[in-house]
Structure 1
Amino acid sequence: MPLHPDPEAPTETLLHADDDTPLARLCLRDDGSVAADVRPLPGVAPGDVAGQARRDLAGLRLETAHGGLGAALVAGGLTVLRAATEMRHDLTDLPAPPALPVGWSLAAAGWDSDLAEACAAAYGPDHPEGPWRADDTREIRAMFEAADPVPPLSGASARVVGPDGRSAGHVLCAGPVPWTDDTCGWILNLAVAPYAQHNGLGRALLTHALRGTRAAGLPTLGLQVADRNPAQRMYDDAGFRPVTRVLAVRLPG
């Protein structure tokens, strides 16, 4: 079989060549539909990994921060689904919590129909991160209801609530997360409904996430932001720094 559990890292999988030579490490996510953090083993040519992945991971979404592997996949005719920058904040020099507009407040993290509606509106069909999907709602609900795949980092997560008492956005964090080499918290989602934007609510949620992550004793907070996402400027201003580039492609099959 081309895929084997990695004996050195229980959460990872090894991609093998047809002669059983190990070629790359990866993490299978989302019920096996995503091959994330794919990286060639030392001394393995990226082209060999790309060719084997096309055969043995056919139909999966492949994500990699390895520049050579990304180039080999694109050179083989695959289209980039998403190009993003992975960023980190070292949780020093945190911004002060901004004042919220009159009638607005931050509330405990959770999930409700108003928040689902707000996220769906925030991630429209032309959003750089892609449109909101029913799967996104299911994944977030599973985090709150069954801590699957990871539990929310409650002190760093919050909803923003308007004068009418309805949820208009949120920040959802987890940590420490199993998909990074370093120990860090992670922003899984930050969204504000279009009708509530341009009121500083996104910055308020981001500041809450930063301060809550530090209070939880984690050394850094990470995230990914897609190219052309206007939130990039907010992250830059808050002190996040780029770590690496991540490309995602769909393997045919």
Structure 2
Amino acid sequence: MPIRPADALLCADDGEPLARLRERDDDGPMVRPIAAADRVARQMLRDLPGRQVETPDDALAKALVAAGATLTRSATELQHDLEDLPDPVALPAGWSLSAAGWDGDLAAALDAAYGPDHPDGGWTDNDTTSVRDMFERSDPVPPLLPASARLVGPDGRSAGHVLCAGPVPWTEYPCAWILNIGVGPHAQGNGFGRALLLHALHGTRDAGQPVLALSVVDGNPARHLYDRTGFTVVTRVLTLTTPAA
């Protein structure tokens, strides 16, 4: 088998290294070519059929698409180094940031926030299951509680949240990660997204993590908020699905 998990290499049949691999949780391996893109693409189609893969390399993505792979997501990985943070945001009267958790009101708020026209697609039952598993079983990673919070309205109901984990195993540098941030439509337009983001930044620093990172899909208007808050670009991340064998 040309894939060698021990040294995280994708190799040609004669053993020549073609690309470096790093597993990224359920997102499939991150592939960084060290040979010509077309050679790497051909070997990936042979050795990774029907797999989701990620790469920061445009040439490899184009070669994979030309060979029959499907581009499913184009995003940018951002990070904030936490050394110089804006002050936290004061919330309007009656609103608060409470301990992170999960309830039906939050599920409804996120379902409305991530509608079918959202660049990342709609909120799904799998998303709900993933969040519940984090809180109930720490699967695949536990939430970073100091950096996570629920937005609670004057009626006592959850209207949004930020959910962080860290340190996470899928990056090449030590960091905490924003897994999800969202505010229900009925609460939007009040600066709550910025309040949640700043809570995550300060909470990550309080938890002793050096960096907070995230991935934002192309076309997501939240990118403007991240840029204004001081996040900087780490890399492009192109997600593809290879054709089945």
TM-score, normalisation: structure 2: 0.92
Identify which of 25, 31, 44 aligns with 1:29: 25
Alpha-carbon separation, structure 2, partners of 1:199 and 1:36: 38
Q: Secondary structure at the match of 2:154?
A: coil
Q: Deviation at 1:21? A: 4.4
1:132 and 2:127 equivalent?
no
Report what 2:219 is aligned to: 228
Aligned 1:139-178 pairs, distance under 5 A: 139-178=130-169
Structure with higher RCO (Cα < 8 A, 6+ apart): 2
Contact 2:177-2:213 at 8 Å conserved across structures? yes
Contact 1:90-1:220 at 8 Å conserved across structures? yes
Q: Deviation at 1:144? A: 0.9
Q: Secondary structure at the match of 2:209?
A: coil
Matched AA of 1:37: M
Q: Secondary structure at the match of 1:148?
A: coil
Q: Secondary structure at the match of 1:132?
A: coil
TM-score, normalisation: structure 1: 0.89
Q: Deviation at 1:120? A: 1.3
Q: Secondary structure at the match of 1:186?
A: strand
Report what 1:10 is aligned to: none
Q: Deviation at 1:2? A: 4.0
Contact 2:25-2:169 at 8 Å conserved across structures? no
Alpha-carbon separation, structure 1, partners of 2:66 and 2:210: 38
Unmatched 5+ stretches in structure 1: 8-12
Q: Deviation at 1:250? A: 1.9
Alpha-carbon separation, structure 1, partners of 2:13 and 2:125: 37
Cα RMSD over matched residues?
1.7
Report what 1:5 is aligned to: 5
Matched AA of 1:218: Q
Contact 2:25-2:170 at 8 Å conserved across structures? no
Number of residues of Structure 1 aligned to a counterpart in Structure 2 = 243
Contact 1:62-1:250 at 8 Å conserved across structures? yes
Identify which of 16, 29, 45 aligns with 2:36: 45
Alpha-carbon separation, structure 1, partners of 2:16 and 2:84: 47
Q: Per-residue CA shift, 1:159-206, capped at 9, x if unaligned? A: 101111111111011111111111111111001111111111111100
Alpha-carbon separation, structure 2, partners of 1:117 and 1:4: 44
Q: Per-residue CA shift, 1:76-107, capped at 9, x if unaligned? A: 35442211111111112211111212211000
Q: Secondary structure at the match of 1:180?
A: coil
Report what 2:239 is aligned to: 248
Q: Deviation at 1:14? A: 3.8
Q: Per-residue CA shift, 1:7-46, capped at 9, x if unaligned? A: 4xxxxx543434454433131633xxx4231222x3x222
Matched AA of 1:38: V
Contact 2:24-2:170 at 8 Å conserved across structures? no
Aligned 1:34-183 pairs, distance under 5 A: 34-40=27-33, 42=34, 44-183=35-174
Q: Percent identity?
A: 60
Contact 1:124-1:130 at 8 Å conserved across structures? yes
1:211 and 2:206 equivalent?
no
Alpha-carbon separation, structure 2, partners of 1:138 and 1:207: 26
